[in-house]
């Protein structure tokens, strides 16, 4: 409809369609029409008073069957849409496009890196947020018509990794996760915690860890053996967690396999005179006032964190020839990515302009910040476990379900509670995750949205029994206010997708789905669907709602339930 208005306007007003699109707005109240065009933008050009311009335009604009009226109201030109035609066209479009409604065609290749854990401990709440944001953005980009590669980086070497190895060697007594029946990443993480505890009183431990790292770098057989064993435990546990969340990767990178190649880029930069050797032999770059001096290689020749990233970016470009690459990484690393991108630009790599850091804020629990070194971390697994219990409790309050069905539903509900709570908040902000709020079936939550979807499904199931045929009819008899609201909201969906894509912000879709669910509930309470004369059109409307809600939730990574 907005397109149509822009088209009509473009015939009478000398502005291009893009400009017009940005100018046409939704007026504050429905008496003022469905769309409005502010005529004061033309005052300079036409050297006329805007009220006059509006007046004159009402006479020039040719009405169509879709636009039933134009009216001047002060400097605004207000358009009134024929709601019946809007409703019929839109519902027809949604029902025939099905899950393609709102899909875009951008056709770019985008690499998105997310998760990227260290392999010395289980995933924590920050990783949870990371994955949910990463996966949702990947889906939004896919729905925008792009080819997406999801990649993960295992930071599997370095001082933090040998710390858990050393503690295991010293105090582990050959225990294994199989023997202790612990989740294998938790098992590894416990030794990391133990190391930090012991290191408080035993000052030699830090030095021993550095010695172990040197041995690892020189390929010491025993150290490498231990490393392989503990890393495979850590990774096995980590994979277990992200699979529960429905996350899959196209490729995994391992720091241990690439960190040496980073050193070649350092050589390249030295030759080009971009990097310098300091008196102590460390390689540095001076990035001026804002970013300062940055060490790229330590004085003993060992790599630092950024060394791997220099090479990794290059490697991925060789592999994928991406148009864009997005790194989903916590805001603690804002500086790191500024430096990384700056250096790649200075090295004149062709892809350096195509890199983006999607930064997100910390996750807190009502009790306070998570701390990894003291072992007071709340693991992602623990949070999922907690939410599962809450979901089960809620379900038991409401229904009598068979064990297996209870399991299936509580998993879907628990995950939707977590995902929605994390995604509705803008990535940059910190989050205080509140389990009870997140699960509330009646709040601004994932389960509430699932519930509205399940209700729509149930209406359609009943109708099927009722009518036998499921032929949905799109002819409108008469429209009630709540139907109009629902139609309008459904019509917004393609714009919402576009906005979420441009801003790389799943929160836009989360907010939209919540509004959509609320409007659907209003509709449902005010408009009789089954057994009314308007019933056939209303069923079609319910089906259209179902399609859009399902897609919205899917883009947030949330699974729908046909019954709840």
Name the site residues for ligand ARG (rule: CB under 6 A).
113, 116-118, 153, 155, 309, 327, 329
d(Cα 292, Cα 278) in Å, to the nearest integer?
15
d(Cα 354, Cα 434) in Å, to the nearest integer?
37
In this structure, the number of other CB atoms found within 10 A of the CB of residue 279 comes to 6
Nearer to ligand ARG, 102 or 117 (CB): 117
Smallest gap from residue 373 Cβ to ligand ARG (A): 14
Smallest gap from residue 333 Cβ to ligand ARG (A): 7
d(Cα 43, Cα 48) in Å, to the nearest integer?
5
Q: Is 130 within 8 Å of 358 (Cβ atoms)?
A: no
Strand residues in 233-388 grouped as ranges (E): 251-254, 276-277, 283-286, 293-297, 324-330, 355-360, 363-365, 368-369
Helix, strand, coil percent values for the chain (each to nearest 5)? 60, 15, 30
Nearer to ligand ARG, 134 or 435 (CB): 134
Nearer to ligand ARG, 255 or 381 (CB): 255
Q: Is 226 within 8 Å of 191 (Cβ atoms)?
A: no
Nearer to ligand ARG, 126 or 269 (CB): 126
Question: How far, in Å, are 279, 304, 307 from residue 155 at the CA level?
Answer: 30, 12, 12
Smallest gap from residue 300 Cβ to ligand ARG (A): 22
Smallest gap from residue 75 Cβ to ligand ARG (A): 52
Smallest gap from residue 234 Cβ to ligand ARG (A): 12
Q: Is 132 within 8 Å of 418 (Cβ atoms)?
A: yes
d(Cα 347, Cα 283) in Å, to the nearest integer?
15
Smallest gap from residue 374 Cβ to ligand ARG (A): 18
Nearer to ligand ARG, 102 or 122 (CB): 122
Smallest gap from residue 168 Cβ to ligand ARG (A): 20
Smallest gap from residue 60 Cβ to ligand ARG (A): 57
Closest CA to 422 of 507, 503, 337: 507
Nearer to ligand ARG, 153 or 544 (CB): 153
| Residue 369 φ/ψ, nearest 5 degrees | -70, 150
Nearer to ligand ARG, 193 or 560 (CB): 193
d(Cα 289, Cα 284) in Å, to the nearest integer?
15
Nearer to ligand ARG, 314 or 424 (CB): 314
């Amino acid at each position: 409809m907005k397109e149509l208005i822009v088209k009509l306007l473009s015939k009478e007003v000398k502005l291009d369609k893009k400009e017009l699109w940005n100018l046409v707005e939704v007026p504050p109240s429905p008496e003022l029409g469905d769309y409005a065009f502010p005529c004061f933008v033309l005052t300079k050009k036409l050297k006329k008073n805007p009220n006059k311009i509006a007046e004159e335009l009402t006479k020039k604009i040719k009405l169509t069957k879709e636009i039933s009226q134009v009216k001047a109201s002060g400097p605004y030109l207000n358009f009134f849409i024929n709601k019946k035609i809007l409703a019929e066209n839109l519902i027809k479009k949604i029902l025939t496009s099905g899950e393609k409604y709102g899909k875009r065609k951008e056709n770019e290749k985008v690499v998105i890196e997310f998760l990227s854990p260290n392999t010395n401990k289980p995933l924590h709440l920050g990783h949870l947020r990371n994955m949910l944001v990463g996966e949702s953005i990947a889906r939004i980009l896919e729905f925008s018509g792009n080819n997406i590669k999801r990649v993960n980086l295992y930071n599997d070497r370095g001082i933090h990794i040998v710390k858990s190895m050393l503690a295991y060697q010293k105090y582990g007594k050959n225990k294994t996760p199989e023997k202790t029946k612990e989740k294998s990443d938790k098992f590894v993480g416990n030794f990391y915690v133990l190391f930090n505890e012991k290191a408080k009183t035993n000052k030699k431990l830090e030095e021993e860890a550095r010695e172990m790292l040197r041995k690892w770098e020189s390929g010491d057989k025993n150290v490498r053996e231990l490393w392989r064993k503990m890393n495979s435990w850590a990774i096995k546990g980590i994979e277990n967690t992200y699979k529960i969340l429905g996350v899959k990767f196209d490729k995994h990178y391992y720091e241990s396999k690439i960190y040496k190649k980073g050193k070649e880029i350092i050589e390249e930069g030295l030759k080009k005179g971009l990097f310098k050797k300091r008196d102590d032999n460390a390689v540095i770059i001076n990035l001026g006032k804002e970013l300062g001096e940055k060490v790229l290689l330590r004085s003993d020749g060992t790599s630092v964190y950024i060394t791997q990233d220099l090479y990794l970016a290059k490697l991925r470009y060789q592999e994928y020839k991406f148009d864009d690459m997005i790194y989903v990484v916590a805001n603690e690393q804002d500086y790191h990515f500024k430096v990384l991108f700056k250096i790649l630009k200075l090295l004149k790599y062709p892809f350096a302009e195509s890199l983006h850091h999607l930064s997100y804020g910390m996750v807190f629990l009502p009790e306070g910040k998570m701390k990894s070194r003291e072992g007071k971390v709340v693991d992602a697994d623990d949070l999922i476990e907690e939410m599962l219990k809450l979901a089960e409790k809620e379900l038991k309050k409401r229904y009598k379900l068979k064990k297996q069905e209870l399991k299936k539903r509580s998993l879907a509900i628990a995950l939707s509670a977590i995902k929605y709570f994390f995604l509705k908040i803008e990535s940059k902000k910190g989050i205080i995750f509140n389990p009870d709020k997140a699960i509330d079936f009646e709040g601004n939550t994932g389960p509430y949205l699932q519930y509205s979807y399940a209700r729509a499904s149930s209406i359609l199931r009943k109708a099927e029994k009722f009518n036998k045929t499921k032929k949905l009819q799109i002819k409108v008899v008469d429209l009630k206010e709540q139907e109009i609201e629902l139609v309008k909201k459904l019509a917004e969906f393609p714009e919402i997708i576009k906005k979420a894509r441009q801003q790389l912000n799943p929160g836009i879709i989360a907010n939209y789905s919540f509004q959509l669910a609320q409007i659907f509930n209003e509709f449902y309470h005010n408009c009789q669907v089954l057994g009314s004369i308007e019933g056939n059109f209303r069923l079609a409307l319910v089906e259209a709602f179902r399609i859009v809600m399902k897609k919205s939730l899917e883009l947030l990574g949330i699974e729908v339930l046909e019954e709840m």
